[in-house]
Structure 1
């Protein structure tokens, strides 16, 4: 860490704002350094260096928030999951995200002693408001961190499911912890599905904190087309090679609780990199078409139909009819390095797709433009959909990085704020870029040039007019009563 005086100076400037626009960014690097960065000015508030920490397979470092600062007097707690640089076994770094101090009896750096196959944070907290981690080793033995979280898992073991895919395999397996006992946690295989098209190269779920504001969309005839919103749905990508069509890619929509394959889409003569954006009832993904030598983006949407099965809750075990699949593809003018979607607190604001282009810029695009129900022929529908055009035009005004060029972008992270109209965006890679965007404009914020004196004067005039009118009406009514 830096000097004590500089740390106290930076830490003393941290303030909490009512709209949650100012954040403390926690960043973990592949070199084993964990940083706390003030989003207001980019200052490094604190730093932790663990020399033996390195990313997991796929060059990914996993960061979980086990407890927020909303549970005073309990301190907030975060945990970084990686592996040991020498042994390759799992390593945990537990720390306070506000102060940057390591937490725990073992100095905050824990070597767990086994290789990791899966890491999941439970949605339920214990009595100390701490969400435990479920760690699965390479022998498929589950472990809890902290160990006191076992009681939380046993309490919700009937609704806790996992899915695993071995590296280089095309088999996806689902497990349940229903038969676990105190002191003997057990994974029980409940389903297994073999997917064609080559080995599995990626599994993409939805955000656990995602909120769906509208359950459907109104059609031109005033009927409602209900969304197929399955919180257990995951996008599974397989990539293979054959001697006829060469590179192939198949996208599967799999229910991770029952193992049912809801839909599948196959592409021939395509290659990566493939970037997936999965939210609500839609999936947007990008790839490179080897046949036509161009970059493409495909949009998928799932709908239940004109009737909704259950308006209050969704269950993967209840019988559901096969959802309706809408699909369209578009041509991108250049390649994509990363992709994400905007998130807001209530999910009311229109979602935007963020594309990190190979040119080093990040553009925002309304999901409305990538709607797969855009009519191919004829004029615009009453729903407001545009006529389908294969080429997507990227406007310079939609570039959120302005005149900055960001090389080697790894990913994009978005976060909601107290304002429904605002979304915070962090672009990371070789550099860091942080900004604030408004997908549906600032509909819940007054403009800077708002004339407060004019509105206040008008309100006072209306109040005075109402008071005078009331007195005159009372005097007139009194005169009429004496006639």
Structure 2
């Protein structure tokens, strides 16, 4: 077949268009895709360091059981180190025998800890018998040196008393937080109670050198707002305009004029330079990653709600930069929900029974309404109901419930997953440390259905329900091509119960419709109830953690996998008969399970499961450790069917991604996603996973005292290309090869013809 020049050109154009539509995420280095907001919280006490005028000690974020003490460079605004003390600090003094040693004291309990001032190394601690100390007076600036007149601040000269420096006070000025006249002169202003601005002298002016925002501390809830490419929005509007055109000719003319205007704008934006246009069209300028961030779903606004009633929007691709902040002026916020599918409005509930609706116009928040619940009681929890539009299930501290409906005229709608619904009925499961409770909502009435109450010596310490996932396979294909079918019954929850009397911890799997316990297993290796426990529920498996004291103290990880049957190729559920999955008639096949226990080298605080768009990527168990680090383990390493390497048969080894059972799981440095950051999660932190448009990539965030986010790829970067990949050179090379092929093809054809007809 003869290749014409026109066909060659069309082929190259098609190749160019197809490759120009294929984009990839470039490799990122550590500290580029991840970011941290290291918070101090509102400052309570400031104590200058006599050895270094640039350093101060700050006491902040105090509760009844803890305080945060930080060493802070007051000149640069840099945190040098932070330490959480296990008691509320009300006094900080110097050791009488060594002024390089600091003593932190709680006067009521007489608890104290002694630290080295240089590196904050703990030297000693105790209760009562507080060491002899030298009292450090609280910081106060001389009133005769700093004077506030109207909207201005004046720093007076010590000798003459005249104004040496003047400063216009920022809007929202609250007070002078810190002032140091001696070289270097340092001034810190408190703005809006939570913002701190540091000033220094530049010639005859006081200029701001650093700024800290401390309002987004102690996060209690979050929401994610996707940022869309404006070009996609314009394209959708153009398509809608074409659909509503009066005729085919009008639609064609609209498209022609629109594309003509875009071409003209492209020429103007690039100053009619062919080189710039060629570079932009080919995408050779890799410095601008905005388009790829939008395309791959990395461009998001993380909206966080704090316990103190602040809400803030953080740009997730710009190092968590604060885009906007709003003081809701409520006490103890507890929950936040989107009220519509387009994510244009939020509703926030507070512990004292208030709720607010917040509209987002051009991604900026506006408080639209503020009101109180009809029942004036303290709110314990809020659940949003999906099938019952505009409704929320409110639970109060006294365990009573309220089915609350928002005014639909305000544009409210609902979207929240639930466990089970049938017709007009909805089944809800709640829990606390004393029990698990089942309810049914029918005809706007709440009825109790079942409850599991633990004994006074028992306590529920961890709970998780089976989440909604995309089903990609019904079973596990074994090495001999047989199948173990997963147990995919949706209405399940798992929880852990500690027993102080028997000194045991028990795992239970429960049917959330009937309250029937389907699986239970008890651990008698002397669990340490002082240390944290947690549990996560995946597609057909559960992973939980606890710390045991026998035979030796060690952190345990336990995996439980649920199957319809442990006999390969035996499927008990009938896909054509949905009655078999009706818990109300008792037609539910109970699961059969396998379990394995592993040892982990660090104490685990919290866990979550990585999420991706289509749930094809291997799941990872993301863990927040006691030392402040965050790491993860691919689920395939936690295999309940795993065998020691010497016991694996040939069929076992043929199984896809088969791994031998190793009782000890080491920490892989490549999986420590916080690197060497000093992360303070806080007591009630949330470890979350956010999906992106890339199946390989999941965003992991830890929200609490600090805010930390990064990206992980549990199955590797299978849709990620190297930053050295040069698409332009590749296209040019392909074009040259096509030209060479076109040029030499006649000579090759002539040679073949001669070989057939000429006689040697």
Superposition TM-score tier, normalisation by shorter sequence: 0.7 to 0.9
Match of 2:308 in 1: 31
Match of 1:186 in 2: 445
CA displacement at 1:311 relative to structure 2: 4.6
Deviations 1:197-255 (A, max 9, x none): 723344311334x323232211121111111123221112222211xx4x322221111
Match of 2:733 in 1: 457
Q: Check whether the contact 1:228–1:323 (CA below 8 A) recurs between aligned residues.
A: yes
Match of 1:301 in 2: 561
Match of 1:176 in 2: 440
CA displacement at 1:163 relative to structure 2: 2.2
CA distance in 1, matches of 2:746, 2:701: 57
The partner residue of 2:508 within 246, 252, 275 is 252
Match of 1:276 in 2: 535
Q: Check whether the contact 1:144–1:150 (CA below 8 A) recurs between aligned residues.
A: no
Q: Check whether the contact 1:140–1:187 (CA below 8 A) recurs between aligned residues.
A: no
1:254 to 1:40, Cα distance in 2 relative to 1, 3 A: same
1:460-475 equivalent positions in 2, closer than 5 A = 461=737, 465=741
1:316 to 1:204, Cα distance in 2 relative to 1, 3 A: farther
Q: Does 1:416 align with 2:691?
A: yes
Q: Does 1:161 align with 2:421?
A: no
CA distance in 1, matches of 2:387, 2:743: 56
CA displacement at 1:258 relative to structure 2: 2.2
Q: Does 1:65 align with 2:334?
A: no
CA distance in 2, matches of 1:393, 1:199: 31
Match of 2:364 in 1: 99
Q: Secondary structure at the match of 1:368?
A: helix
Q: Secondary structure at the match of 2:479?
A: coil
Q: Which moved more, 1:379-388 or 1:23-32?
A: 379-388
Match of 1:21 in 2: 298
Q: Check whether the contact 1:258–1:316 (CA below 8 A) recurs between aligned residues.
A: no
Q: Secondary structure at the match of 2:366?
A: coil
Q: Check whether the contact 1:297–1:329 (CA below 8 A) recurs between aligned residues.
A: yes
CA distance in 1, matches of 2:379, 2:555: 35
RMSD: 3.5
Match of 1:340 in 2: 608
CA displacement at 1:125 relative to structure 2: 7.7
Q: Does 1:374 align with 2:634?
A: no
Match of 1:8 in 2: none
Match of 1:54 in 2: 332
1:145 to 1:454, Cα distance in 2 relative to 1, 3 A: same
Q: Secondary structure at the match of 1:397?
A: helix
CA displacement at 1:400 relative to structure 2: 0.7
Q: Which moved more, 1:448-457 or 1:18-27?
A: 448-457
Deviations 1:51-84 (A, max 9, x none): 44215xxxxx333222243xxxxx6122233302
CA distance in 2, matches of 1:259, 1:462: 69
Deviations 1:146-187 (A, max 9, x none): 15489999x97634111234x5534x3322123x2xxxx212
Q: Secondary structure at the match of 2:466?
A: coil
The partner residue of 1:214 within 473, 476, 488 is 473
Q: Check whether the contact 1:125–1:152 (CA below 8 A) recurs between aligned residues.
A: no
1:426 to 1:260, Cα distance in 2 relative to 1, 3 A: same
Q: Check whether the contact 1:141–1:186 (CA below 8 A) recurs between aligned residues.
A: no
CA distance in 2, matches of 1:102, 1:451: 48
CA displacement at 1:117 relative to structure 2: 5.2
CA displacement at 1:376 relative to structure 2: 3.2
TM normalised by structure 2 equals 0.52
Deviations 1:298-319 (A, max 9, x none): 1111111333414587934262
Match of 2:545 in 1: 286
1:363 to 1:173, Cα distance in 2 relative to 1, 3 A: closer
Q: Check whether the contact 2:391–2:403 (CA below 8 A) recurs between aligned residues.
A: no
Structure with the bigger RCO (C-alpha within 8 Å, sep 6+) is 2
Q: Check whether the contact 1:249–1:266 (CA below 8 A) recurs between aligned residues.
A: yes
1:466 to 1:217, Cα distance in 2 relative to 1, 3 A: farther
Q: Check whether the contact 1:199–1:240 (CA below 8 A) recurs between aligned residues.
A: yes
Q: Does 1:44 align with 2:322?
A: yes
Q: Secondary structure at the match of 2:670?
A: helix
Deviations 1:63-107 (A, max 9, x none): 3222243xxxxx6122233302xxxxx332322353221233x3x
CA distance in 2, matches of 1:319, 1:125: 27
1:139 to 1:299, Cα distance in 2 relative to 1, 3 A: closer
Q: Check whether the contact 1:157–1:177 (CA below 8 A) recurs between aligned residues.
A: no
Deviations 1:288-336 (A, max 9, x none): 1022211111111111133341458793426233212111111111111
Match of 2:660 in 1: 387
1:63-142 equivalent positions in 2, closer than 5 A = 63-69=336-342, 76-84=344-352, 90-96=353-359, 98-104=363-369, 106=370, 110-112=372-374, 113-116=376-379, 118-124=381-387, 126=389, 132-137=391-396, 138=398, 140-142=400-402
Q: Check whether the contact 2:340–2:414 (CA below 8 A) recurs between aligned residues.
A: no
CA distance in 2, matches of 1:151, 1:426: 25
1:236 to 1:470, Cα distance in 2 relative to 1, 3 A: farther
Structure 2: segments with no counterpart, 5+ residues: 1-169, 173-226, 230-293
1:125 to 1:164, Cα distance in 2 relative to 1, 3 A: closer
Structure 1: segments with no counterpart, 5+ residues: 5-13, 56-60, 70-74, 85-89
CA displacement at 1:379 relative to structure 2: 5.2
Match of 1:224 in 2: 483
Q: Does 1:351 align with 2:627?
A: no
Q: Check whether the contact 1:234–1:254 (CA below 8 A) recurs between aligned residues.
A: yes
Q: Secondary structure at the match of 2:367?
A: coil
Q: Secondary structure at the match of 1:257?
A: coil
CA distance in 2, matches of 1:326, 1:273: 24
Q: Which moved more, 1:454-463 or 1:262-271?
A: 454-463
CA distance in 2, matches of 1:337, 1:405: 16
1:199 to 1:466, Cα distance in 2 relative to 1, 3 A: farther
